Amino acid sequence: MTRLTSLAAAFAPFETLAEQLLPYAFADDDGSHDAAHLIRVWKNALSIQGREGGDLRILAAAVLLHDCVSVEKNSPQRAQASRLAAEKAFELLDELGWRTPDMAAVGHAILTHSFSADLPPQSVEAKILQDADRLDAIGMIGAARCFYIAGRMGSGLYDPLDPLAEHRPLDDKAYAIDHFEVKLFKLTDGFKTAAGHTLALERQRKLRQVLAMMFEEI
């Protein structure tokens, strides 16, 4: 069994679709948007879909391709990443013979999943993808990804003179833990499904514990 086949098995019952799309699904050099991220988002999506409904085939394709165009967090093109990914997803699914309405549904979910794009998801699949992806930005995994991305961007962990930002503006481009207050703690209020919001509350509690433990050691 090849590595691709093994990874595709994690997307059951859509293993064949996953094996077709995974070669285009993520950038090899970004450990925060890799195959592991896609598998976690798929598991999150399955958990939410079990309570909220929605078309699993549409959702599987959207999960697999939501990061198929890689744009760094500090790029001026960051807000365009989801649009570019949606366009590429449409092309890939067209080559596989998908119906236009289904491709459009996948494209909408991908287009609206991004925090940077700031577009409201309309379909249940789009709402689930957005929630499933944002669940991976909070909790213990979210903290790990935050520090990983900060390292890629050349940021420090915290300001040694004022780690709590009591006497300075928050600056998450300079300090990783500032990103918790700038963005991560705000994500939970924006969840679009009841099931996703319930999961987000628990992950946010864990994220606050991570930050508290860091401040204790600092």
Q: DSSP characters for 46-87? A: HHHHHHH---HHHHHHHHHHTTSS---TT-TTGGGHHHHHHH
**What's the confidence (pLDDT) of residue 29?**
78
Considering the domain architecture, whether residues 57 and 143 belong to the same structural domain is answered as no
Last residue of a domain, one of 120, 148, 175: 120
Residue 127 domain-assigned (yes or no): no
**What's the confidence (pLDDT) of residue 45?**
98
Considering the domain architecture, whether residues 70 and 96 belong to the same structural domain is answered as yes
**8 Å CB contact between 151 and 204:** no
**What's the confidence (pLDDT) of residue 30?**
84
Residue 128 domain-assigned (yes or no): no
**What's the confidence (pLDDT) of residue 104?**
97
**What's the confidence (pLDDT) of residue 78?**
63
Considering the domain architecture, whether residues 102 and 31 belong to the same structural domain is answered as yes
Residue 80 domain-assigned (yes or no): yes
**What's the confidence (pLDDT) of residue 138?**
95
The helix/strand count (H/E) of the chain reads as 10, 0
**What's the confidence (pLDDT) of residue 75?**
60
Low-confidence ranges of the chain (pLDDT < 50): none
**What's the confidence (pLDDT) of residue 73?**
64
Give the chain's domain count: 2
Residue 125 domain-assigned (yes or no): no
Considering the domain architecture, whether residues 110 and 17 belong to the same structural domain is answered as yes
CB atoms < 10 A from the CB of 166, how many? 6
- The CA distance from 108 to 111, in Å, is 5
**What's the confidence (pLDDT) of residue 74?**
60
Last residue of a domain, one of 76, 91, 120: 120
Residue 61 domain-assigned (yes or no): yes
Residue 129 domain-assigned (yes or no): no
Which of 71, 73, 89, 72 is CA-nearest to residue 81? 71
Considering the domain architecture, whether residues 115 and 195 belong to the same structural domain is answered as no
CA distance readout (Å), 85 to 44, 64, 92: 20, 11, 10
Considering the domain architecture, whether residues 109 and 18 belong to the same structural domain is answered as yes
pTM value surpassing 0.85: yes
- What domain range is 58 assigned to? 1-120
**What's the confidence (pLDDT) of residue 32?**
84
**What's the confidence (pLDDT) of residue 215?**
95
